Amino acid sequence: MTSELLGQALVEEATKKSGLIWVRGPAGPARALWHVWHDGAACLVGDGPGEQPLPALTAGADAEVTVRSKDKGGRLVSWTARVVEPAPGSPAWEAAVAELKGKRLNAPDGEAMTERWARECRVLRLEPTGARSPLPDGSLAQAPLPSPATTRQPAPAALPRLLLKRRGRGGGRP
């Protein structure tokens, strides 16, 4: 009994403090997703324009959640969750959205985002089932998923000259 309570406390505290969780649905690779912890579950919003993808997460299915340390980035705990999708406008949906909207950064539509979430997105609750997975001994590193996003483009030809000019003006940082 005590180990169950300690396990629940570990899942809750680690998930609350972590900004990202890694979630693997019944099929496909794990994805890093932002979330909030509310009322005993990790709450997510996504699958709409401008929001994170929530692939392979279907209501009633199980998902594996891996939580990392906010300080060191290492895995702390892996737990099994039941995916629940509250109906838009229901008390559970409203409570989850109230928490999520406070943590959503750079929303394109500001206060109107909750109406957009009700129309175009999915709000999910990942409720712990009580089962925890043992942490693996080795690395789980994988190649990045295909994406249209880019991280590197050629530097403009004038950039080195602009950077050197800025440093030479005194008063700037070295």
Instruction: Kindly calculate the radius of gyration of the chain based on its CA atoms and give it in whole angstroms.
Output: 20
Per-domain residue ranges for the chain? 2-136
User: What does the pLDDT profile of the chain (174 residues) look like in tens digits?
Assistant: 688 888 888 889 989 988 899 999 988 888 999 999 999 999 999 998 889 998 889 999 999 999 988 787 788 899 999 999 999 999 999 999 999 998 888 887 888 889 999 999 999 999 999 888 777 777 777 787 787 777 777 777 777 777 777 655 555 555
Query: What CATH number does domain 2-136 carry, 3.20.20.70, 1.20.1260.10, 3.40.50.920, 2.30.110.10?
Result: 2.30.110.10
Please state the φ and ψ torsions of residue 26, each to the nearest 5 degrees. Answer: -60, -25
CA distance 33 to 48: 14
Distance of alpha carbon 73 from its chain centroid, rounded? 14
Residues counted in the chain: 174
**Tokens at 174, concatenated:** 């070295």
Instruction: Quote the pLDDT of residue 95.
Output: 95
**Tokens at 159, concatenated:** 């950039």
> Which helix H or strand E contains 33, and what residues bound it?
strand 31-34
Q: Are 88 and 96 a contacting pair, CB within 8 Å? A: no
Instruction: Quote the pLDDT of residue 171.
Output: 52
Q: Is the dihedral of CA 45, 49, 50, 54 positive or negative?
A: positive
142: CB partners within 8 A, 6+ apart:
29
Instruction: Quote the pLDDT of residue 172.
Output: 52
**Tokens at 47, concatenated:** 């699958």
Q: Give the SS3 label for residue 15.
A: helix
Instruction: Quote the pLDDT of residue 126.
Output: 96
Instruction: Quote the pLDDT of residue 173.
Output: 54
CA distance 130 to 42: 14
Instruction: Quote the pLDDT of residue 161.
Output: 76
Question: 């080795």: which residue's tokens?
Answer: 138
Reported in sequence order, the residue ranges of 106-146 that DSSP labels E, i.e. its strands, are 122-133
Instruction: Quote the pLDDT of residue 168.
Output: 53
